[in-house]
Amino acid sequence: FLLLLIIYVVAVLIVQSVTTYRADLLSDQTVVSELEDFFRDLPRAMWTLLQTISGGVNWREVGVPLNAMSAWTGCCFTVFICFVYFAVLNVVTGVFCSSAIETAQRTPEVIAMSVVSNKNSYEKNLRQLFAKLDSNQSGNVTLA
């Protein structure tokens, strides 16, 4: 939900800037055309922002026309990308991993399997140790 809210707010800001830029008669039509591909309306803008953070579209392709339109808008877009990548997605990943680890530690079957696995490992190590100590393969270990 947090990610959707962030995408929505940034999309509103960018669509407003693009709409204002399109209304200006002196604006570069090549830039307007590129911007309309990505930000012609709010749903398209949200889709574009989702694609930029999920690898569907290279965020540089989206950022160049935004920066050509306005340095402020280009900077906002870059801050959005950095914030989502380094803050939001890392927090979500951390919470998911923490929850998975806690669940695995509380499950009795997992704990029992871990104990059995450790027991088997200790038993194997002890058998190897006694096999090395029994140099004449008599089945007995004596102190010499």
Q: Among positive and negative, which fits the CA dihedral 96, 102, 106, 109?
A: positive
- Asked whether residue 95 carries a pLDDT value surpassing 90, the answer given is no
Between the ranges 16-25, 36-45, 83-92, 131-140, where is the mean pLDDT highest?
36-45
**Alpha helix ranges (H) inside the chain:** 2-23, 29-39, 42-54, 59-69, 71-83, 89-106, 108-133
Residues 6+ apart with CB under 8 A from 39: 11, 14, 15, 18, 45, 48
Which one-letter DSSP state was computed for residue 136? T
56: Cα within 13 Å, side-chain hemisphere = 10
Rounded to 10°, the helix 71-83/2-23 angle is: 170
- Helix, strand, coil shares, percent, the chain, to 5: 85, 0, 15
Q: Under a CB-based contact definition with an 8 Å cutoff, are residues 20 and 32 in contact?
A: no
Lowest mean pLDDT among 8-12, 71-75, 94-98: 94-98
The structure tokens 């096999």 sit at 131
Predicted TM-score (pTM) of this structure = 0.62
- Asked whether residue 127 carries a pLDDT value surpassing 90, the answer given is no
The structure tokens 């570069």 sit at 28
Q: At 73, which amino acid appears?
A: T
Query: pLDDT band at 144, cuts 50/70/90?
Result: low
Residues 6+ apart with CB under 8 A from 47: none
